[in-house]
């Protein structure tokens, strides 16, 4: 009977140990990753959004809950010229910050059954759209207008 080479035996042991370690790591991480990124998301077409003002919803085209705001009316003053606000819509919630003629999305979370689209191409204008599978839409329109921030929510 031939003796196995020590190098081959060591390589086989290393390969088996590495394989078991990878399997155990996958079994431990798989439920965590599955919970963090559910696979039941709604498909959303991410075509080029129309940036013209006529593409945004108006009070005539939807059941509107538009809220033109003065700084301080729902906006929290953080520092000189810096405002922050949380906005709640049927499709989800978002937190925005407005400063120096710009608006920025800090956080956004769609509700169950909604997908989210963010249009932040213009630093002075942010549009967050929450879409549901049954055709419902929530539009959060945040802008820097003149000397302060403005926010409006429209539900369709």
- Computed over every residue of the chain, the mean pLDDT equals 77
Q: Say which residue, 117 or 147, is predicted with more confidence.
A: 117
Q: How many helices (H) does the chain have, and how many strands (E)?
A: 1, 9
Q: Say which residue, 27 or 54, is predicted with more confidence.
A: 27
Distance, in Å, from the CA atom of 135 to the CA atom of 26, rounded to the nearest integer, reads: 38
Q: Say which residue, 34 or 23, is predicted with more confidence.
A: 23
Sequence-distant (≥ 6) Cβ neighbours of residue 64 within 8 angstroms: 57, 58, 154, 155
52, burial (CB in 10 Å: exposed 0-12, middle 13-18, buried 19+): exposed
Strand ranges of the sheet holding 114-122, from the earlier edge strand across to the other edge:
64-65, 148-155, 137-145, 125-132, 114-122
Residues 76, 99 contacting (CB under 8 angstroms): no
Would you give the DSSP letter of residue 42?
A: P
**pLDDT higher than 90, residue 36:** no
Tens of pLDDT, residues 91-131: 999 999 998 889 999 999 999 999 999 998 999 999 999 99
Specify the pLDDT at position 66.
40
Specify the pLDDT at position 90.
93
Nearest in space to 138 (alpha carbons), one of 153, 119, 150, 124: 153
Q: Say which residue, 42 or 78, is predicted with more confidence.
A: 78
Distance, in Å, from the CA atom of 133 to the CA atom of 40, rounded to the nearest integer, reads: 11
Q: How many CA atoms lie within 13 A of 20 on its CB side?
A: 6
pLDDT band at residue 23 under the 50/70/90 scheme: confident
Neighbours of 129 (CB within 10 A): 24
Specify the pLDDT at position 114.
93
Of the segments 52-61, 70-79, 121-130, which one has the largest average pLDDT value? 121-130
Domain map (residue ranges) of the chain: 1-39, 62-155
């Amino acid at each position: 009977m031939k003796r196995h080479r020590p190098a081959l035996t060591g390589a086989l042991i290393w390969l088996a140990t590495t394989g078991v370690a990878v399997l155990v790591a996958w079994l431990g991480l798989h439920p965590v990753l599955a919970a963090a990124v559910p696979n039941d998301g709604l498909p959303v077409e991410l075509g080029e959004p129309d940036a013209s003002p006529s593409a945004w919803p108006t009070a005539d085209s939807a059941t509107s809950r538009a809220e033109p705001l003065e700084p301080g009316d729902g906006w929290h003053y953080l520092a000189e010229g810096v405002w922050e606000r949380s906005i709640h819509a049927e499709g989800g919630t978002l937190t925005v910050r407005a400063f120096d003629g710009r608006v920025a999305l800090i956080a956004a979370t769609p509700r169950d059954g909604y997908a989210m689209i963010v249009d932040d191409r213009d630093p002075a204008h942010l549009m967050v759209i929450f879409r549901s599978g049954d055709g419902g839409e929530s539009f959060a329109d945040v802008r820097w207008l003149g000397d302060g921030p403005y926010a409006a929510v429209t539900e369709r």
